[in-house]
Amino acid sequence: MARINDMLDEEQRHERKDLERGLKDRHIQLIAIGGAIGVGLFLGSAKAISKAGPALLVTYAFAGVAVFFIMRALGELLLHRPVAGSFATYAEEYVSPWAGYVTGWTYWFTWVVTGMAELTAIGVYFHYWFPGVPQWIPPLVALAVLYGANLIAVKVFGEMEFWFALVKVITIVAMLVIGVGVIVFGFGDLGRTASFSNLWSHGGFAPVGLVGVVLTLQIACFAYTGVELIGVAAGEAENPERVLPHATNSITYRILIFYIGALVVIMSLVPWNEINPNMSPFVTVFEKIGVPAAAGIINFVVITAAASSCNSGIFSTGRMLYTLAQFGQAPAAFGKVNRSHVPANAITLSAAFMLLAVVLNYFVPEEVFTYVTSVATVGAVWTWGIIVWAHLKYRQAVRQGLARPVSFRMPGAPYANWFVLAFLLLVTVFLGFDAGTRVALYVAPAWFALLTAGYLMSRSRAGNGVHAGEASR
């Protein structure tokens, strides 16, 4: 433990010298909100509604409780050691070097694949306005702009993500305000049928029963994926002792309001069984309210959401690869920064992999791409589990006098830790209930076996380096 602490203290000093703490409180807030509110809410929520009906609210609330504890655990660890590696660093320190290696590379791969999917989505949605433009051009332009912005300075990334996220937040708030006005005051044609009673008047609150809740549990869980981005950004946050607790507390309840509030209003305005699962529920609601060009507006928001997610992916993969290089678990070149104090080499490699997706989408069968993205799904569960487990071990170290305590603490520990771990295990089991997600359970073991082999090879090379140094002396 002492040796690892010495390594981590050196890493933190290295980051303070290399990385620039240029992310303000508003940046941190919107980075995490923008990471969790994406295409899944604006498009994917329609399919979730069709599977569970209004009982979907229970699913999102239950998953939200787990996310609250995850974020509080992460917040306590961030105050203890605010470094760019975040949960990979905590896994290295409080679980094992293997866990740190696997977590870092799994999270890197998770966001690379997410970036691939979001770039593809940009090309598809761009066709709504310009069907004659080849599908590969919009993703290429988007990646070039986002890649360049991430190389300039962390402040540029923060500003872009702030405005990307603000577009999504404004859209949701507008829908909430207009929707509540229609429900309460009966505005327009939709006002005659809009009512909160629609939440239980069409087959009951849980028309599909418990099965609907079970089948949508993983959807709700993965909808919140991205809140942990605050951890990756911690190493470049101004005044982390003040900013991180504020951001951690506010992010959770804001996301719960946006998700649950939006779903309540949507299903009150339009009965759940009248929502087209293949169309954005926001388009359905805005069209019925009478908003001009509703489909075009939401198409713009979805493109913004996809660009925001890809932007976060470039940022997070660059920082995670940078951290892996600090621990000798990635080539040393990725642990260097440019004149703007950003890990340019790490960002470039990540962007290159994302660019590969633009090409592969034309040549690789869809099934293969599904296999790859399924690993990203398991990667999200793994990351959250590691955060909670590392927090559990950190608290043990505090009790033993091996780590310093902080004032911002996760409530309910250690019972809350075990609750979250049981919840994540349940989500993993439920992946096998759906044919679309079952493949994750087949691919994930191969992925972790591959990473274990890579870890053993890296340890072997490190050991040979030490022996060679001793021999030369």
pLDDT of residue 10: 47
Q: Smallest Cα–Cα separation from 246: which of 63, 404, 28, 84?
A: 28
Predicted confidence (pLDDT) per residue in 433-473, tens digit: 777 677 778 888 888 999 999 889 887 766 655 444 444 34
B/e letters for 389-417, b = 16+ CB within 10 Å, e = fewer, are bbbbbbbebbeeeebeebebbbeebeebb
Predicted confidence (pLDDT) per residue in 75-84, tens digit: 889 888 877 6
pLDDT of residue 431: 80
Average pLDDT rounded to a whole number, residues 272-291: 84
pTM for this prediction: 0.85
pLDDT of residue 425: 92
Q: What are phi and psi of 23, to 5 degrees?
A: -95, 120
Find which of 37-51, 204-218, 367-381 is predicted with most confidence, using mean pLDDT. 204-218
* Contact indicator for 185, 179 with CB cutoff of 8 Å: no
The C-alpha atoms of residue 30 and residue 33 are separated, in whole angstroms, by: 5
Average pLDDT rounded to a whole number, residues 327-338: 85
- SS3 string of 360-426? HHHHCCHHHHHHHHHHHHHHHHHHHHHHHHHHHHHHHHHHCCCCCCCCCCCCCCCHHHHHHHHHHHH
Domains of the chain, start order: 2-456 (1.20.1740.10)
pLDDT of residue 466: 43
pLDDT of residue 84: 65
Calculate the alpha carbon distances from 243 to 62, 236, 258, 316, 337 in Å. Answer: 27, 11, 22, 19, 24
Calculate the alpha carbon distances from 376 to 89, 240, 309 in Å. Answer: 20, 29, 14
* Dihedral of the alpha carbons of 28, 86, 334, 455, in degrees to the nearest 10: -150
pLDDT above 80: residue 234: no
